[in-house]
């Protein structure tokens, strides 16, 4: 028989915790806080600090002498500015394309399709995420190759595929990150009350007006959340562009090319995407899109 005696230690612990809310809080938060500060913020700090070190040009050893040379080089070298700008444009293009493509898909899966089929459709949207990233990118390499699927499909219209390069990179990244935009939009659209749409129609609004004044404000926070995924994932990517980007280089490629010989310069370059993402989040916050998340 399990009576008071059997449960006693647990009870005593519960009693202690009940009496001491601070201890409760400490036990609850220590592990996640350690993870956040040591692993996450700690590594960001190391990244930032090492960006101020220098490298011995002969041995490639890191010399721990404080200097702002790397940031100076980062800001004054035309090629760095150009690559940073190119990376941001790619990330924005991917985000816009994802949003434009995701909305109709999400609208169909959330509101038009028969409710019984909706979970199946969502699962279908998620299936590409089950395949390896590299497999998908190499598949695009084949599709976009000379005389590949893209060329073959466009040939009847007298057109050619984009070949390898910047457009191919944007296209492939859009394909890769599309589910991350569809899912939040699907969830948001699913939660839009039918009554609001009916009311809008009853009051004489045409579909376009309903979309602009009712649906869009309601799903904008979710689109913003999705755009954080698509934007940051595109900004940090350097493998897709190596495979389908032709000779294009993005910010990640610059970091990669410096990592062996000039770690401090790689760190300085690595702070750029961090800064850009912070600015992006601030801009998104100003629109008020993050308030109801």
Partner 1 sequence: MRLIRTPRAAAFCAAALLLTTACGSSGSGGSSATGLHPPALKAPAELGRTEGRVNLIAWAGYVEDGSNDPGADWVSGFEKRTGCQVRSKVAASSDEMVKLMKTGAYDAVSASGDASLRLIASGDAAPVNTGLVPNYKDVFEGLKHGAWNSVDGRMYGIPHGRGANLLMYDTAKVTPAPTSWSAVFDDAARHKGHVTAYDSPIYIADAALYLKARRPELGIKNPYALDRKQFDAAVALLKRQNEYVGEYWSDYLKEVSAFKSGDSVVGTTWQVIANLAASEGAKVKALVPKEGSTGWSDTWMVSSKAKHPNCAYKWLDWIVSPKVNAQVAEYFGEAPANSRACAETTDKNFCAVYHAADEDYWQKIAFWNTPIEQCLDGRRDVTCVPYAEWVRAWTEIKG
Interaction between residue 257 and partner 1 (CB under 8 A) = yes
Stretch that binds partner 1, among 113-121, 129-137, 138-146, 174-182 (CB under 8 A): 138-146
Using only the alpha carbons of the chain, give its radius of gyration: 25
Q: What is the 3-state secondary structure (H, E, C) of 242-278?
A: HHHCCCCCCHHHHHHHHCCCCHHHHHHHHHHHHHHHH
List the one residue from 4, 194, 202, 260 that touches partner 1 (CB under 8 A): 260
**Residue 160: left (phi > 0), alpha (psi -120 to 50), or beta?**
beta
167 binds partner 1, rule: CB under 8 A: no
**Residue 54 binds to partner 1 (criterion: CB under 8 A):** no
Q: Determine, following the binding rule CB under 8 A, whether residue 132 of this chain makes contact with partner 1.
A: no
Cβ 176 to partner 1, closest distance in Å? Answer: 18
- Point out which span in 3-11, 44-52, 169-177, 256-264 binds partner 1 (CB under 8 A): 256-264
Q: What angle do CA 215, 89, 238 make, to 5 degrees?
A: 110
Give the DSSP per-residue string, 53-122: -EE-TTT--EE-----HHHHHHHH-HHHHHHHHHHHHHHHHHHHHHHHHHHHHHHIIIIIS-GGGHHHHH
Does 163 interact with partner 1 (rule: CB under 8 A)?
A: yes
Residue 282 binds to partner 1 (criterion: CB under 8 A):
no
CB of 232 within 8 A of CB of 96?
A: no
If the CB atoms of residues 73 and 282 are measured against partner 1, the closer one turns out to be 73
List binders of partner 1 among 184-223 (CB under 8 A): none
CA dihedral 225, 227, 229, 232 (to 10 degrees): -130
The answer to whether residue 172 forms part of the interface with partner 1 (CB under 8 A) is no
DSSP, collapsed to helix, strand or coil, labels residue 146 as coil
Please give the Cα distance from 137 to 280 (Å, whole number): 27
Q: Which of 108, 113, 118, 145 binds partner 1 (CB under 8 A)?
A: 145
Does 246 bind partner 1 (CB under 8 A)? Our answer is yes
Q: Does 148 bind partner 1 (CB under 8 A)?
A: yes
Which of residues 93, 178, 225, 254 is near partner 1 by CB under 8 A?
254
130 binds partner 1, rule: CB under 8 A: no
* 60 lines the binding site for partner 1 (CB under 8 A): yes
Q: Residue 67, interface with partner 1 (CB under 8 A)? A: no
CA–CA distance, 53 with 166 (Å, rounded to integer): 33
Give me the residues that bind partner 1 (CB under 8 A), please: 55-60, 77, 79, 82, 141-142, 145-148, 163-164, 242-243, 245-247, 249, 254, 257-258, 260-262
């Amino acid at each position: 028989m399990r009576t008071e005696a059997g449960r006693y230690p647990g009870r005593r612990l519960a009693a202690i915790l009940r009496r001491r809310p601070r201890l409760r809080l400490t036990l609850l938060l220590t592990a996640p806080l350690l993870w956040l500060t040591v692993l996450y913020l700690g590594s960001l700090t190391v990244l930032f600090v090492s960006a101020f070190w220098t490298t011995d040009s002969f041995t490639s050893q890191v010399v721990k002498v404080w200097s702002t040379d790397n940031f100076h080089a980062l800001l004054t070298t035309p090629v760095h500015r150009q690559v940073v700008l190119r990376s941001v444009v790619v990330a924005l293009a991917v985000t816009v394309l994802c949003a434009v493509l995701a909305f109709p898909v999400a609208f169909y899966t959330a509101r038009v399709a028969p409710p019984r089929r909706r979970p199946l459709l969502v699962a279908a949207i998620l299936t590409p995420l089950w395949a390896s990233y590299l497999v998908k990118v190499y598949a695009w390499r084949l599709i976009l190759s000379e005389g590949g699927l893209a060329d073959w499909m466009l040939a009847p219209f007298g057109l050619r595929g984009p070949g390898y390069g910047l457009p191919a990179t944007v296209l492939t990244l859009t394909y890769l990150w599309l589910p991350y935009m569809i899912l939040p939009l699907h969830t948001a659209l699913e939660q839009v009350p039918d009554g609001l749409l009916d009311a809008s129609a009853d009051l004489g609004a045409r579909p376009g007006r309903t979309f602009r004044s009712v649906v869009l404000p309601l799903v904008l926070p979710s689109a913003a959340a999705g755009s954080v995924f698509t934007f940051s994932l595109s900004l940090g990517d350097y493998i897709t562009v190596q495979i389908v980007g032709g000779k294009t280089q993005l910010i990640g490629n610059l970091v990669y090319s410096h990592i062996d010989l000039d770690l401090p310069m790689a760190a300085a370059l690595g702070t750029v995407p961090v800064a850009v993402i912070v600015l992006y989040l601030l801009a998104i916050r100003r629109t008020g899109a993050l308030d109801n998340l």
